[in-house]
Amino acid sequence: MRANARRGARWLAGVWAVAVVPAAVVMAGPAQAAPAQAPAPFTYSTVAWTHSAVIVASVNSAGDLYYWWQPDGSTTWNQELVATGQYEGSVPSIAWTGSTVIIADSDSGGQVDYYYYQFAGTRTWHEQPVAAAPENS
């Protein structure tokens, strides 16, 4: 009799898992795509995790640098244009410092640029050149 009781408990646990997991997936729903304002195609992108959001930096074929974030538990992507027309064919890097999103990229002239965004302040991206390509004399 005990063997049957154990089998029944395992069967009940299996039925519960089969019922609950699909329900959780249906309730969460699929992630929503970013707004259609960003012109594709995007050739290079990078991703990081802030412990509360997924963050992505990407460059499109026009050389525009974009930033997206999706808070944990959300299905909505938020999008920002960081810089326009200077990063064609480049590969951005993105990181989180604990309070600031950092994006680094090199522009078409060979200059390395560093962007940072302060969550606890404005929504303004600040550009700081790090290194420039040597000038030809």
- Residues 78-107 have pLDDT tens digits of 999 998 888 888 889 999 988 889 999 988
The pair of structure tokens assigned to 103 is 């994006």
Strands 93-96, 100-106: pairing kind: antiparallel
The whole-angstrom separation of Cα 15 and Cα 33 is: 33
Mean pLDDT of 45-62: 93
Average pLDDT of span 111-127:
73
Judge whether residue 130 has pLDDT over 90.
no
Per-residue pLDDT, 7: 47
Pairwise CA distance, residues 132 & 67, whole Å: 23
> Residue 1 pLDDT more than 60?
no
Do the beta carbons of residue 56 and residue 47 sit within 8 Å?
yes
pLDDT, one tens digit per residue, over 13-39 is: 443 333 333 333 333 334 444 445 667
Higher pLDDT, 17 or 68: 68
